[in-house]
Every structure is written in structure tokens, then in C-alpha cells.
Amino acid sequence: MYELMPNKIYTHKMSLSTVINSPVFTWLRSKAPGFSLNGNKVSVISEPSVFHETLLNQCLSSKQRITLVSLYLGTGALEEKL
């Protein structure tokens, strides 16, 4: 279910333009940049260990330069692999 507007529940899939143009997101469009993407190509990573493994594998398989930016990467054995 999708809840975009108070007291109105949507039970069907909506197009990206419908969601983006919803009044609920007007403030966000004025404050931050946005980009479109295919939701079928998005995977949610919910475990830190899976995130680290995915990050490491993607870095190892890269064919071009990678820049990692973070407030804190750490100094332990896991971070050394990065």
C-alpha cells in the first residue's frame, strides 16, 4: 500500500511521475536534487555485513577509479580491505 496523502490509501502501483508530482513531495523537490531510477534495479541492504561484502565486491570488480566518501570509514580489519 502507498500512503501519499493523509487519509488516502492507494492500493495500486503508481507511476513515477504520479509519486514525484504528489503535493507531499513538493517541499523536497525545492530542497534537494533528484534522479529517476528503475525500482527493479534497486536492492535493499539491511545488514551491515552484507553492505560491507557488497561494497568490497563492487570495488574489486571495478574497471575504473572509485572514490569512497564517508564521515568515518573506520580503522579495523574490515576497513583495511577497502
Q: Which residue has the higher pLDDT, 17 or 34?
A: 34
Q: Which residue has the higher pLDDT, 60 or 11?
A: 60
Q: Provide the mean pLDDT of the chain.
A: 78
CA–CA separation, 65 and 52 (whole Å)? 18
Long-range contacts formed by 1-10: CB under 8 A, 24+ apart: none
pTM of the model: 0.50
Which of 61-65, 69-73, 76-80 is predicted most confidently? 61-65
Q: Which residue has the higher pLDDT, 23 or 65?
A: 65
Residue of 41, 44, 10 lying closest to 24 (CA atoms): 10
List C-alpha distances in Å: 74 to 30, 69, 78. Answer: 34, 12, 8
Answer yes or no: is pLDDT of 24 > 50: yes
